[in-house]
């Protein structure tokens, strides 16, 4: 039920009418105008407000636009830097200045969100082709945070200029900013297919997006292929002469089949399997080295090294003796293996148990143009649809640029025609000006002498004549004006012809040819440079070597201690459990011996049995680790009993060959009080 505000008199009191009621809530007196109450069902009101909120998040924060591939905060950062003239040839400027202007003028959502977006656009391991050139500490692939914005500096990269090009030519629609004091672009007139080039990730309300980055040269070739044949099938765009697959900034190796990649690009969703690449690093002493020289996209290198180190320390993979991170500007992690180690099995184990192999879940959801030019519609698109939306956008930008150029030409032609018109009457014009009392008087007399309705001068032409510098009245300058008039008439006629041509045929030589030429030029300028080469390889792997994880576990005797408060630890030997290090008030629940290959059963107060191997219990000489780190337990659930399933511990349970269905000595059977097993 919505309540409209009541009117107040000049003395500040509510103007009560016959239909008003007076109430008291917490000592505060309030007035309700019953006659003006608007009754709305709570379900409808909540649904409407939540929908408004979700649409705001979807269209104004989380999802990129299919045309320029940018989220609003990214677009506002680039536009602000464009206004500050921070192109790739300018001097770097403090990020704090950029962030402050973005927040004050266009994006009032906090400086941390703006700075985080700016930092990501400058990180070469986050974007395939960074749009911001950062100076200072902008973080690392190890997960290190960027320095504070007061220490770092930034400017636009060369390719960012292609995203912002022609912005001054009225090529895109503008809208008011949050307080209506400025105008900002609805979308940037990008010549770069940025959505596919750098990808995007974001979580909205009820939907999300996760678009992988791609190689610029491959995207440009796919665009040219689509222009040549608009009826081409989606799978034909996924080929060696077009888009081969995602191209991640950190390299790696895609192990999907060609059919799997084509399905992903057809539906706009799927899973890309990504691995780090490994190469031989020679031998040293009784060991050999494997070098990890690239990692999957989005993987924290420090976390990966830590995971491998944990495996080495816990002896889960005894074939690995050590791991060393010797990375500089390039990634290099050395795996020290035993000389007789099977490299294929070692890698298979690491792919399964570490982030050296990870999945990138593709979800190509973005905003597409709608009837309202300021608000896009969320949609999941395939590869061909994304490329076609971009081509249509480029055609629109070219059309608006030509229209803007034609308008400027017509205005200039109008002025030049006025100059040519007065050339034969210069002496008379000068006499009129000398006898006039001022600029307005001179303009009035000139227009009276050369009336517009008789092919003379109008107000704009007259103003241009009065602003003309005297040296331009020379004969040579007049010749230049006549040549300029001729050239501009020729250019205006060519533009009118381009604007009249039909755009249904993408192979025509009109505006589509301009789009084609710009894509070709983009391919030449950026796609064929060394940094434009593909970084992620695509190789279909065969069957992984078969192995059992238990084969890699060194069989050693150990002891596991579990406390009543749920702390667990593994040690090689515990002679006196009562002297083991415990937290204050905690007590020993169980101390069980067993082999590192044996299984441990832990029974909880909820009647649940959790099992794990001895080797999986973290080794510790301290308090140990909470058992909740090993298992997902409910609130209030605690361990009340522990059983070792090592055959040497359970030897007292005799096996009867006459009754083979009895529980084996290496298994446990749980029976409830109601007879359930």
Q: Which of 321, 221, 71 is nearest to 534 (CA)?
A: 221
Q: CA-CA distance, 16 to 414, in Å (whole number)?
A: 65
537 phi/psi in degrees, rounded to 5: -85, 155
Is the C-alpha dihedral spanning 90, 95, 99, 101 positive or negative?
A: negative
User: Which residues are within 8 A (CB) of 110 and not within 5 positions of it... i.e. 6 or more apart?
Assistant: 103
Pairing of strands 557-563, 588-595: antiparallel
- DSSP for 422-476 reads HGGGHHHHHHHHHTSSSHHHHHHHHHHHS-GGGT---HHHHHHHHT--GGGGSHH
Q: CA-CA distance, 283 to 421, in Å (whole number)?
A: 88
SS3 644: strand
Q: Which of 246, 298, 237, 236 is nearest to 271 (CA)?
A: 246
Q: Which of 66, 78, 74, 79 is nearest to 211 (CA)?
A: 66
Q: Which two structure tokens, joined as six digits, stand for 357?
A: 């192999």
Question: Tokens 């809530």 — which residue?
Answer: 25
Q: Which of 550, 627, 555, 624 is nearest to 594 (CA)?
A: 555
- Torsion angle (degrees, nearest 10) of CA 570, 576, 580, 583: 110
What element of type H or E holds 323? Answer: strand 320-325
Helices (H), 41-177: 42-57, 72-83, 95-105, 111-122, 158-164
Taking a C-beta distance cutoff of 8 angstroms, is the pair 643, 663 a contact?
A: no
- Rg, Å, the chain Cα set: 37
50, 151, 178, 606: the active-site residue: 151
Taking a C-beta distance cutoff of 8 angstroms, is the pair 395, 503 a contact?
A: yes
Tell me, yes or no, if 235 is annotated catalytic. no
Helices (H), 140-187: 158-164
Q: CA-CA distance, 491 to 562, in Å (whole number)?
A: 86
Q: Kindly tell me the burial class for residue 57, based on how many C-beta atoms sit within 10 Å of its own C-beta (0-12, 13-18, 19 or more).
A: middle
Q: Which of 659, 400, 397, 674 is nearest to 518 (CA)?
A: 397
Question: Tokens 């090993």 — which residue?
Answer: 630
- Torsion angle (degrees, nearest 10) of CA 587, 592, 598, 599: -40
Diameter over CA atoms, the chain: 133
Q: CA-CA distance, 649 to 541, in Å (whole number)?
A: 44
Q: CA-CA distance, 376 to 367, in Å (whole number)?
A: 5
Residues designated as active site: 151
């Amino acid at each position: 039920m919505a309540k409209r505000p009541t009117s107040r008199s000049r003395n500040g009191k509510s103007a009560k009418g016959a239909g008003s009621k007076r109430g008291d809530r917490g000592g505060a007196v309030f007035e309700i105008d019953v006659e003006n109450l608007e009754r709305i069902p709570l379900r409808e009101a909540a649904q409407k407000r939540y929908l408004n909120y979700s649409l705001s998040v979807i269209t104004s924060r989380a999802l990129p636009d299919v045309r320029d591939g940018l989220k609003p905060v990214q677009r506002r950062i680039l536009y602000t830097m464009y206004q500050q003239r921070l192109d790739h040839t300018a001097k770097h400027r403090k990020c704090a200045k950029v962030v402050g202007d973005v927040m004050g003028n266009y994006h009032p959502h906090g400086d941390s969100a703006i700075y985080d977006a700016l930092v990501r656009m400058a990180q070469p391991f986050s974007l395939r082709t960074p749009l911001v050139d950062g100076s200072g500490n902008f973080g690392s692939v190890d997960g290190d945070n960027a320095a504070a914005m007061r220490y770092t500096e930034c400017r636009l990269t060369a390719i960012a200029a292609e995203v912002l090009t022609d912005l001054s030519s009225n090529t895109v629609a503008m809208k008011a900013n949050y307080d209506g004091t400025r105008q900002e672009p609805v979308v940037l007139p990008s010549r770069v297919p940025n959505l596919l080039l750098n990808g995007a990730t974001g979580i909205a309300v009820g939907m999300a997006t996760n678009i992988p980055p791609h190689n610029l040269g491959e995207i440009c070739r796919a665009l040219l292929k689509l222009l040549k044949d608009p009826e081409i099938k989606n799978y034909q765009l996924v080929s060696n002469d077009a888009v081969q697959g995602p191209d991640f900034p950190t390299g790696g190796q895609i192990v999907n089949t060609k059919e799997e990649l084509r399905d992903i690009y057809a539906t706009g969703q799927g899973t890309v399997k990504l691995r780090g690449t490994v190469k031989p690093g020679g031998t040293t002493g009784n060991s050999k080295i494997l070098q990890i020289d690239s990692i999957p996209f989005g993987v924290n290198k420090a976390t990966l090294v830590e995971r491998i180190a944990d495996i080495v320390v816990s002896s889960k993979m005894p074939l690995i003796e050590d791991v060393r991170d010797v990375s500089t500007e390039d990634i290099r992690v050395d795996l020290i293996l035993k000389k007789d180690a099977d490299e294929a099995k070692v890698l298979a184990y690491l792919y399964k148990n570490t982030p050296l192999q990870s999945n990138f879940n593709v979800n190509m959801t973005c905003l597409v143009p709608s009837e309202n030019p300021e608000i896009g519609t969320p949609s999941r698109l395939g590869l061909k649809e994304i490329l076609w939306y971009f081509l249509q956008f480029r055609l629109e930008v070219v059309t608006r640029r030509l229209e803007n150029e034609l308008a400027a030409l017509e205005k200039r032609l109008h002025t030049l025609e006025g100059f040519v018109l007065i050339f034969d009457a210069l002496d008379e014009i000068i006499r009129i000006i000398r006898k006039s009392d001022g600029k307005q008087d001179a303009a009035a007399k000139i227009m009276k002498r050369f009336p517009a309705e008789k092919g003379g001068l109008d107000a704009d032409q007259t103003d241009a004549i009065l602003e003309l510098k005297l040296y331009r009245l020379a004969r040579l300058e007049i010749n230049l004006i006549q040549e300029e008039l001729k050239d501009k008439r020729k250019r205006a006629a060519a533009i009118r012809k381009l604007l009249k041509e039909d755009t249904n045929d993408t192979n025509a030589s009109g505006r589509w040819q301009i789009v084609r030429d710009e894509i070709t030029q983009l391919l030449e300028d950026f796609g064929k440079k060394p940094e434009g080469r593909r970084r992620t390889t695509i190789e279909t792997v065969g069957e992984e070597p078969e192995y059992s994880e238990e084969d890699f576990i060194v069989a050693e005797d150990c002891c596991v201690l579990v406390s009543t408060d749920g702390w667990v630890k593994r040690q090689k030997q515990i002679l006196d459990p009562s002297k083991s290090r415990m937290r204050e008030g905690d007590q020993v629940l169980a101390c069980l011996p067993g082999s590192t290959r044996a299984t441990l059963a832990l029974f909880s107060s909820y009647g649940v049995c959790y099992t794990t191997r001895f080797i999986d219990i973290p080794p510790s000489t301290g308090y140990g680790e909470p058992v909740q780190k090993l298992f997902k337990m409910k609130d209030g659930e605690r361990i009340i009993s522990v059983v070792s399933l090592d055959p040497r511990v359970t030897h007292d349970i005799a096996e009867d060959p006459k009754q083979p269905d009895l529980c084996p000595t290496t298994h446990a059977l749980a029976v409830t009080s109601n007879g359930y097993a």
